[in-house]
């Protein structure tokens, strides 16, 4: 669809296709989200009412507070080391971390004193927002482009709605095997998906896809695998844990989950590149396999609702409602329901915990 919204990035993608042929979905996503000049995350703050979507930390302060208290619990469980690398991947506006640090300072000041804060963020716009949000914490963050740059040492890794935005490849099963789905010009100045003329090796795909029916869509993400492997390898050699919170499925299965959101509505992923958030559902089964292969332990995931309830979201909400007026109390209750109810974020979002090899999973995963 030709329109003035495609701007410079649309022109560049069309030019690339005209020179080198269609792009795979992963390359298309990478350009749309991370192009140095026109990428979605490089040019705007996408969060909140005036943005395109809202994440859990923006819904309620309790979310970040619970993550902070869980971090302090892990610090104590691994022997209260004198230094702890606290690492957040994709920190957004810094809201989660600001709430987490406030909770840590109040409940575990010795843990707070041990923290070195590292933020994995490539967007200059969001780095500025994070610096502003964390100014009152008393901790100066270190920013990195990738998790591998974080110094060695005991660490807690946090990733809320980070993995869903990492690029994926898509393949479709046809009568003679698999073909990769590519992005090409639609003949009207816009973009559309098509199939590669070359067969893809079935060995590229997890075993769960091998018996998929004709027409099925398989999704893989080497980018997600690489980040998960880096975290798991670290935790296989040192004390700490990782907490990965995202929407997705527990077991690898066929399905087309690529989606785009703009101004809180779903739009075509092939419309207005660089101006909508592109994501896909996270395959937690695959993350667990990568973790185990790298020598760390992936504990059975919980739903977000179960995780937050087990760690006291309802009790904390009751505390906040004390002294609140009727409107404030209703807003607190609505936020908790949005985060925990099965028909909101409570079931679709999963929480994966990764640790070094240990017979004792950390709370609340011990009950999984």
Give the C-alpha separation, 278 to 66, whole Å: 28
pLDDT at residue 357 in the model: 77
- What is the tally of helices (H) and strands (E) in the chain? 13, 16
Give the C-alpha separation, 303 to 343, whole Å: 12
* 118: DSSP letter: E
Note the CATH architecture for domain 43-162+221-367.
3-Layer(aba) Sandwich (3.40)
- The answer to whether residues 103 and 95 touch, using CB atoms and an 8 Å cutoff, is no
List the beta strands (DSSP E) in 62-176: 84-89, 115-120, 142-144, 155-160, 169-174
pLDDT at residue 44 in the model: 73
Alpha helices (H) in 108-209, listed in sequence order: 109-114, 124-134
Tokens of 68: 């902070």
- The answer to whether residues 30 and 167 touch, using CB atoms and an 8 Å cutoff, is yes
Tokens of 120: 């994995």
pLDDT at residue 6 in the model: 44
- The answer to whether residues 75 and 362 touch, using CB atoms and an 8 Å cutoff, is no
Give the C-alpha separation, 62 to 145, whole Å: 28
pLDDT at residue 52 in the model: 66
Nearest to 280 by CA among 257, 260, 251, 261: 257
Q: Counting beta carbons within 10 angstroms of the beta carbon of residue 288, is it exposed (0 to 12), middle (13 to 18) or buried (19 or more)? A: buried
pLDDT at residue 358 in the model: 74
Rg of the chain on CA atoms, in Å: 21
Give the C-alpha separation, 126 to 197, whole Å: 40
Q: Would you kindly state where each structural domain of the chain is located, as residue ranges?
A: 7-23+168-220, 43-162+221-367
pLDDT at residue 1 in the model: 39
Q: Counting beta carbons within 10 angstroms of the beta carbon of residue 274, is it exposed (0 to 12), middle (13 to 18) or buried (19 or more)? A: buried
Tokens of 91: 């920190």
In angstroms, what CA-CA distances link 140 with 33, 87, 247?
Answer: 27, 13, 30
Phi, then psi, of 318 in degrees rounded to 5 = -65, -40
pLDDT at residue 312 in the model: 97
Report residues of the chain scoring pLDDT below 70.
1-6, 46-53, 359, 367-368
pLDDT at residue 263 in the model: 83
Give the C-alpha separation, 270 to 189, whole Å: 11
Q: For residue 64, count other CB atoms closer than 10 A to its CB.
A: 24
Nearest to 128 by CA among 100, 88, 91: 91
């Amino acid at each position: 669809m030709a329109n003035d919204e495609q701007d410079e990035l649309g022109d560049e993608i069309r030019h690339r296709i005209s020179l080198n042929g269609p792009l795979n979905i992963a390359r298309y996503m990478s350009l749309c989200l991370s192009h140095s000049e026109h990428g979605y995350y490089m040019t705007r703050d996408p969060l909140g009412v005036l943005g395109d979507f809202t994440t859990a930390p923006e819904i309620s302060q309790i979310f970040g507070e619970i993550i902070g208290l869980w971090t302090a619990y892990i610090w104590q469980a691994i022997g209260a080391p004198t230094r702890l690398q606290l690492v957040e991947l994709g920190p957004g506006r810094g809201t989660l971390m600001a709430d987490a640090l406030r909770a840590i300072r109040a409940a575990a000041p010795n843990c707070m004193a041990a923290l070195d804060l590292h933020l994995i963020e490539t967007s200059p716009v969001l780095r500025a927002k994070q610096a502003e949000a964390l100014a009152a914490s008393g901790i100066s963050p270190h920013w990195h482009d990738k998790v591998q740059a974080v110094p060695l040492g005991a660490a807690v890794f946090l990733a809320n709605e980070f993995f869903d935005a990492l690029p994926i490849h898509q393949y479709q099963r046809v009568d003679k095997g698999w073909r990769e789905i590519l992005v090409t010009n639609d003949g009207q100045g816009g973009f559309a998906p098509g199939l590669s003329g070359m067969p893809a090796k079935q060995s590229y795909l997890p075993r769960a896809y091998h018996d998929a029916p004709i027409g099925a869509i398989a999704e893989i993400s080497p980018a997600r695998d690489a980040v998960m492997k880096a975290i798991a390898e670290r935790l296989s050699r040192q004390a700490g844990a990782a907490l990965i919170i995202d929407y997705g499925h527990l077991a690898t299965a066929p399905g087309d989950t690529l989606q785009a959101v703009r101004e809180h509505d779903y739009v075509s992923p092939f419309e207005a590149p660089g101006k909508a958030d592109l994501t896909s559902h996270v395959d937690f089964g695959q993350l667990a396999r990568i973790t185990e292969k790298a020598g760390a332990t992936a504990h059975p995931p919980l739903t977000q609702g179960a995780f937050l309830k087990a760690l006291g979201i309802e009790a904390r909400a009751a505390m906040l409602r004390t002294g609140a007026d009727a409107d404030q109390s209703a807003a607190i209750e609505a936020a908790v329901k949005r985060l925990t109810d099965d028909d909101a974020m409570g079931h679709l979002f999963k929480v994966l915990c990764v640790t070094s090899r240990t017979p004792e999973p950390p709370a609340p995963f011990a009950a999984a």
